[in-house]
Amino acid sequence: MISEKLNKAINDQITAEMWSSNLYLSMSFYLAKEGFDGFATWMRKQSQEELTHAYDLADYVAKRGGAALVGKIDVVPQGWGSVQEVFEHVYKHECHVSALIDELVNVAAAEKDKASQDFLWGYVREQVEEEATAQDIVDKLRKCGDGSGVLYLNDKLGQRK
């Protein structure tokens, strides 16, 4: 059985994951409008991944006898500058999500819920990868400048499965 405190904390994370999904979907729309279909495709897949995180968290809460809830999802930004600025925002956001997940692990530890700690460590590991991927894209975009390298990277990221 999951504690009320941990149930609430996971529900807050479900809402945060839904917001993240909307953020990346908004970024996808923006990038498509700017003519970067590959980046837009990558971002749409990232949006779907964040939604999957919310579903996984909700399923976990239900399996532990809790109640999964979605809170109010605030409006997301609608516009950015360059592609590099978009991905810098992605990196900063992934760092923020990492902090949220770290706090979830802390709540599970304080509640002495080892099963939840184990479950959440999977998210910690995945989050490390998401941060690293975002940082790698930002680093590549910085090397590209405004030249043809951005178009090449747009094509490569558009191949994301």
Structure confidence by residue, pLDDT tens digits, 52-74: 999 999 999 999 999 999 999 99
Q: For residue 65, is it left (φ>0), alpha (ψ between -120 and 50) or beta?
A: left
Domain ranges of the chain: 4-157
Q: Which CATH architecture has domain 4-157?
A: Up-down Bundle (1.20)
- In this prediction, residue 160 carries a pLDDT of 85
CA-closest candidate to residue 53, choices 5, 6, 18, 22: 18
pLDDT less than 50: residues of the chain? none
Statement: the pTM of the whole predicted model exceeds 0.75: yes
